[in-house]
Every structure is written in C-alpha cells, then in structure tokens.
Amino acid sequence: MDSDSPNPSSALTNTRFSDLNPSLSEPVLEALTQAGFEFCTPVQAATIPLLCSYKDVTVDAATGSGKTLAFVVPLVEILRRTKTPPKPHEVMGVIISPTRELSSQIYNVAQPFISTLPNFKSILLVGGGEVKADLKKIDEEGANLFVGTPGRLHDIMERVDGLDFRNLEILILDEADRLLDMGFQKQINSIITRLPKLRRTGLFSATQTEAVEELAKAGLRNPVRVEVRAETKRVNGHASSEQLAFSKTPSGLINEYMECEADRKSSQLVDFLIKNRSKKIIIYFMTCACVDYWGVVLPRLPVLKGFSLIPLHGQMKQIAREKALASFRALSSGILLCTDLAARGLDIPDVDCILQYDPPQNPDVFVHRVGRTARMGREGSAIVFLLPKEEAYVEFLRIKRVALAERECSDDAPDVVPQIRTAAKKDRDVMEKGLRAFVSYIRAYKEHHCSYIFRLKELEIGKSAMGYGLLQLPSMPEVKRHSLSTEGFTPVEDVNLEEIKFKDKSRQKQRNKNLQAKKEAKQQEPKSDKPNKSSKPAASIMRKKTAKQRRAAQTIEDDDELTREYRLLKKLKRGAIDESEFASLFWTWWVNCFSMEGALTLVTSGFRSSRLSRSLSYFKADVFAPFLTHKHSGPNLILCLRPISLVIRDKSRQKQRNKNLQAKKEAKQQEPKSDKPNKSSKPAASIMRKKTAKQRRAAQTIEDDDELTREYRLLKKLKRGAIDESEFARLTGTDELL
C-alpha cells in the first residue's frame, strides 16, 4: 500500500524503530537503517507492537501514513520466531491487496526484509500473466509467503493440492474496503476458510465501511482498533484564531475545487498543465475510454508539445501497465492520465498535484485519489472540476471531513475545442475514441453513487460534447430516453464522418478491406428474404412439424370444436338460438357426395366443424349409413349427422381404447351406490349461488362431458336395436330436427 521513505517531518513521531516494545530483531533493524528509516509514523508506532504481541488489529489511518511497513515489519518478526524452518510448500503468511500494482509494490517493499529470513521463499501472485508460470514456480521452488490479488490467490489455492496452510501465522488484508467494493467477497471468504483460525490477522484501510466491519467480525478474533487521523489547520475567513480539526486527508494537502461549465473543462485543463509544466501531476478520469481519448488528443495540441503524457488504466495489458507506472515514477516532471486503478495505495514519489477531471463515482475514492500527493509529511495540492449544478458535492465532502476551498477559473485559458475538432477531422482514431469516451462518460455519470447530486437528467449533454470536441452528437438511448439538453453544441456541418480516414495507413487499409467485405456480403444477400419469410403458407409450416406435434395440435383443436358444438346445443335447448341458426352452425352440411374406394368424401359448404369433417375421410361409408338421414334440395343432398360412436381403424389404438373403456366401467361399478344420492341431495341452485364464475364454468364443462357420454350411450342402443329412432330423437331432444 504505502512504501515509506525517510523524512523527518511532522508526519513522524519521536519513537525510533529500535525503541519499540517488543523489540525488533537486529536483521530487521539493519534493513530499516539501510532503507533510511529511523523514526516511526504514528500508525507504525501503534500497530507494530500490537501485531508482534500476537494481537489482531484493524487499522484505519489516512492515506500516505506508512501502513505498508506497519504490517511488513511485524510479519517478518512473527515468521522469524518460528522454531523450525518452513518446508518448501508450507505457507506461513498471506498478504492480499486489491490491485496488481499495489501487490507488486508491497512485494518489492517487503523483499529486503524477507531476505533476512533463512530458507524462506516469497512469491507474487497477480493476474495478467500465465497461471501456469506461477504453478511451475511454486512446484519447483516452493513458497512460504503469498503476496497477491484475491482472484489469482484463490485460483492457485484451488489448483494446487500440495500447499500446507496448517501452520500459517499471519494474514494481512490491505485496502480491505476496496477488496470488498471490487467484488472479491466470495474469493476472500473462500481463502479465509482454508486458513487456520489460530493466526494473527491485520485489516488495513483508509476508510472503514460497514462491509469492512462485517469482515472484521468474521475473520478477526478480538481485534484492537487503531485509528490515526491527520491534524490540519483551518482558518475561518480572516479570523486570527485557528481551529484544529481532524481530517481524512494528509495534513500538507491544499484541497480545492473549480466550478466551470462543461464546454470549458478541456480548456481549463490545458491551461492548468501549461502553468504547471515543471510539476509532476496525476489526472483522474472516470473511465478507461476517457483515458485513452485524452491520452491521444492532448499530445496533438500544439500548446502541449513536449509534455510527457502517460496513460494508465485497467484495460491495458499487465506489461503495459507496469511499464507506464515505472516510466512515470522515473520522471521528475510529467503527467499521468489514469482511472481509479491508480487511486489506492500506490506510492509514487514526488507527486506535486492531483487533478480530478471527473469526480469519482464512489465518494470514498476521493480521499484515496488526493492521497497520492502530500505523502509522509510533504506538501501537495489537489483540484477537482465540478459543474455548476454539482456544487452540493463540496458540502457533502465537508460532512465527510474533507474540506475544499474554491479556486477561480482562469480567464485567459486558451480555447482548445477547435484544435481538438481539427485533430478529429484529420484522424479517424481521434474521432472514434472521442465518441467512445463521451458515451462511456455519460453511462458512468448515470451510475454515480451520489445520484442526488450528480443527476443525469440535469446534465447538459450539449456542452459536455463540446468540451470533448466531438464533431457530431452520438445517437444514444440515454439521450432519447431522458431528453437531455443538447443546448450549447454546434455540430460540424462540412464533414462526413464516414469519409474520415485513419492517419495510420495500416489501420486505414484494414478498414477499407472490412468495408469492401461488408459491401460484397450485402450484395450477395437475396433481396426477397423478408417477403419469403412473411409469405410462407400455413401448410408449409405444418409440414415442418413432426407427426407427434401434428397429433397434439389436432387433439387440442378437436377439444375446442367439441366444446363449441355442445355450447351451441345448450343454447338451442334453452332457446338462445333457433333451429335454423343451430342447423347452419352445427348440423347441416351442403355436400356433393360421391364414393371413392368405399370411402365417403364430403365437400362442406357453410359447416364450420373441421373436426368431424376431417374425421369422416378415415372411415367407411357404411359406418355412417345407419345414422344418416337425408333429403334433397335441388341438386344438393342435405345430410344430417347425429352424434355417433366411431370405431378407430388402427386396431392397436382401438384395442387400447377398449381397455380404457372397460377400466372405466369396472371403476364405476366399484363406486358405492350411496355416493351419488348424497351428492345430488343438495339443491343445485344453492350450490351455484355459492360458487365463483370460474367454479361455475368448471361445473358446466363437467356437465357437458356427462351429457356427451349419455348421448353416445343412447346412440349405441340405437345401433344395436335396443331403442328405435323416434325414442332416440325424443331422448336426445332432436325429434323436431329430424
């Protein structure tokens, strides 16, 4: 987290490392002396004795207070006290931090002290590289101390079965709040469950959140809380009396805010860089795309020619990230453009100023950003750009013990928007990165934790787009959905975005190939695709279904037809429709009748029962002959078909049907005779009044089914001669129809 450097200032106490109790070992004191450390910082003086006395600690100290040595030194002392040297794969200590850069920094700070332990191996486990290389190194050389990020540590512990954690002495969680914010809760819990409970645990963070406190309750045993705050001087107006106040920011930090319109932010940024050319500056943006864009645009401005501008964000490859960080550390003056990746823990020497082009989404990160300067008692300054409607953020930070003073905008700042637009016209790379950066900024703005201050609906998107130097406003759903203001934006009319070329010839060549490929693919597409999709007849769709699917669909249709026909019959009986309407809807078919191979073919006219009309083609005409009555009407033959019991031609299906009928008959015979009278003894009217509409519909369906069964039984009696036609007509209520 924080590496330390000797600086006898107000940030140090009068306590020497050699005066601590319990006393430190000679090899550790020599390593401290060689590194130039003699006096302790407050957090070191309070934490090192506690951990060396085998107590768990939770440390809440301002950023830049020297927390790294506060856990590295006691870790080495505890490991030195082990009675026997550890075996190659016996893990004695684990240090977890949220980012690769922070883990690498801790590893490098700890190495001089780890080297004082005989036969002790440490390993750095972070993402960005091949996990196989880490596995091979552990297998061949062994490892007694793990330093790394939660994801890679968890992965290694899952893969390697030979690691022994039974004698682990100490676990350190650095930047604990950030570990939880980044979604590492699951991995951390998994790691902790693999470790023995009898261990020392140190939890370090610059901000204590509820999640951190919950983690402390779960992973620490009776921890001692160490809280160290910076003491700052605050002058109220022109009053001579000074008030001492505790702050979360370093004591030597001058913290300011600048209120300016969105279309002037880029000009104020460039003006600030010009006036502080000799200083070492870190500029924070909200997204990786913004870092990429400004990292390309700013070097192309003539006024910034010769400035050292280095981009750094989480989407860069690990090698590029390490190279960028090393390059900036080596500079005496330069500019680092970054995201919150570089907001925590990184100890970059001699940073003079922090400029926050965009306030952080999470307000807790504000303290960590400004903490990259004014470290270890040095002086530094920090500025945050705010829009006029975001001024409430100042009061919000004051409540969180972060005071901000107002800084006036520069009146002589050069207008760089035309220069940015000129760069976008000349190079498609600038134009595309500008659009991506702007879109990512709007979407990140929408996710602000302080949404009651940073309101998307109040964001002046037109002015923001001008500040980014866009040629035209992008088509975004956020803009259309929230009706954001586009006032203040002047699109460039004399340019076609599609005609802008890449300055890099190889990229433009590849783009031309892609455009040509798209053009050819479009030409090869058949023009009639959409009409073909909509013009497919229903029959072709049916042919694609399997036989089982067609039977299922047929069954559903048959059930619907059956229900409909019996409803018509009920309407006829209660007089809702007359006989002529019933005949046209159900009974009467206008047909041309002829025989083909002994089968009856019916051509319907006006009859809507597709179920019965389709079924007739599967049966012999003589099956229906006994149940057909007819009369002539001109050239047509009117056939009246009564409800009948049909025989299935498929013998296997008919056999199964007979079995089912027999089973139903036997089950009915076994029912107690007294059931039906009991059920029917209740008046139907009283039951109907008590039932809901849904229950009445269900009862109606059951009644229809019972009536269907009764009519088919009568039909069977007619067929075998048990009753005559007149009796059948009287019992079914169709005597008048016949």
Q: What is the pLDDT of residue 205?
A: 83
Q: What is the pLDDT of residue 292?
A: 97
Q: How far is CA 301 from CA 33, 296, 338, in A?
A: 47, 10, 19
Q: What is the pLDDT of residue 647?
A: 46
Higher pLDDT pick, 146 / 653: 146
Q: What is the pLDDT of residue 661?
A: 86
**Three-class secondary structure of residue 233 per DSSP:** strand
pLDDT single digits (tens) 314-337:
999 989 999 999 999 999 999 999
> What does the buried/exposed string (b/e) look like for 447-474 if buried means 16 or more CB atoms within 10 Å of the residue's CB?
ebebeebbebeebbbbbbbbbbbbbebe
Q: How far is CA 145 from CA 108, 189, 260, 293, 553, in A?
A: 13, 19, 50, 40, 68
pTM of the model: 0.63
Confidence band (pLDDT; 50, 70, 90) for 529? low
Percentage above 70 pLDDT, the chain: 81
Burial of 242 (0-12, 13-18, 19+ CB in 10 A): exposed
Confidence band (pLDDT; 50, 70, 90) for 531? low
Is the per-residue pLDDT at 643 higher than 50? no
Please determine, looking at this structure, whether the domain spanning 253-415 carries the CATH number 3.40.50.300.
yes
What is the CATH architecture of 26-228?
3-Layer(aba) Sandwich (3.40)
Q: Which backbone phi and psi does 583 adopt, to 5 degrees?
A: -65, -40
> What tokens does 405 get?
């003073």
Is the per-residue pLDDT at 171 higher than 80? yes
Q: What is the pLDDT of residue 453?
A: 94
What is the C-alpha to C-alpha distance for residues 478 and 459, in angstroms, rounded to an integer? 11
The dihedral formed by the CA atoms of 125, 130, 133 and 134, expressed in degrees to the nearest 10: 20
The top-scoring range by mean pLDDT among 73-82, 336-345, 612-621 is 73-82
One fold for 26-228 and 253-415: yes
Q: Which residues contact 231 (CB under 8 A, 6 or more apart)?
A: 244, 245, 246, 247, 251
Is the per-residue pLDDT at 132 higher than 60? yes
* Residue 586 per-residue DSSP state: I
Confidence band (pLDDT; 50, 70, 90) for 685? very low
How does the average pLDDT of the chain come out, rounded? 81
What is the C-alpha to C-alpha distance for residues 582 and 733, in angstroms, rounded to an integer? 13
What is the C-alpha to C-alpha distance for residues 26 and 49, in angstroms, rounded to an integer? 16
Residue whose C-alpha is closest to residue 2's, from 74, 65, 55, 53: 65
Span 431-449, average pLDDT: 95
Is the per-residue pLDDT at 578 higher than 80? no
Which residue matches tokens 């100290």?
61
Is the per-residue pLDDT at 610 higher than 80? no
pLDDT single digits (tens) 659-670:
888 888 888 887
Write down the domain spans for the chain.
Answer: 26-228, 253-415, 707-737
Which of 4-13, 168-177, 272-281 has the least mean pLDDT? 4-13
Which residue type occupies 273? L
Confidence band (pLDDT; 50, 70, 90) for 219? confident
pLDDT single digits (tens) 473-490:
998 887 777 678 888 999
Span 149-169, average pLDDT: 94
Q: Are strands 334-338 and 309-312 parallel, antiparallel or unpaired?
A: parallel
pLDDT single digits (tens) 393-426:
999 999 988 999 999 999 999 999 999 999 999 9
Confidence band (pLDDT; 50, 70, 90) for 66? confident
CB 729: neighbour CB atoms within 10 A?
Answer: 18
Higher pLDDT pick, 531 / 555: 555
Span 210-233, average pLDDT: 78
What is the C-alpha to C-alpha distance for residues 150 and 165, in angstroms, rounded to an integer? 16
Q: Which residues contact 474 (CB under 8 A, 6 or more apart)?
A: 435, 438, 439
Q: What is the pLDDT of residue 99?
A: 92
Span 150-154, average pLDDT: 95
The dihedral formed by the CA atoms of 332, 336, 342 and 345, expressed in degrees to the nearest 10: 20
Confidence band (pLDDT; 50, 70, 90) for 650? low
What is the C-alpha to C-alpha distance for residues 707 and 377, in angstroms, rounded to an integer? 97
Confidence band (pLDDT; 50, 70, 90) for 230? low
Percentage above 90 pLDDT, the chain: 52
Is the per-residue pLDDT at 615 higher than 50? no
pLDDT single digits (tens) 365-402:
999 899 899 887 789 999 999 999 999 999 999 998 89
Which of 142-151, 552-561, 625-634 has the least mean pLDDT? 625-634
Helix (H) or strand (E) holding 649: none
Is the per-residue pLDDT at 110 higher than 90? yes
Decide: 113 and 96 in contact? Cβ < 8 Å. no
What is the C-alpha to C-alpha distance for residues 415 and 17, in angstroms, rounded to an integer? 54
Q: What is the pLDDT of residue 375?
A: 80
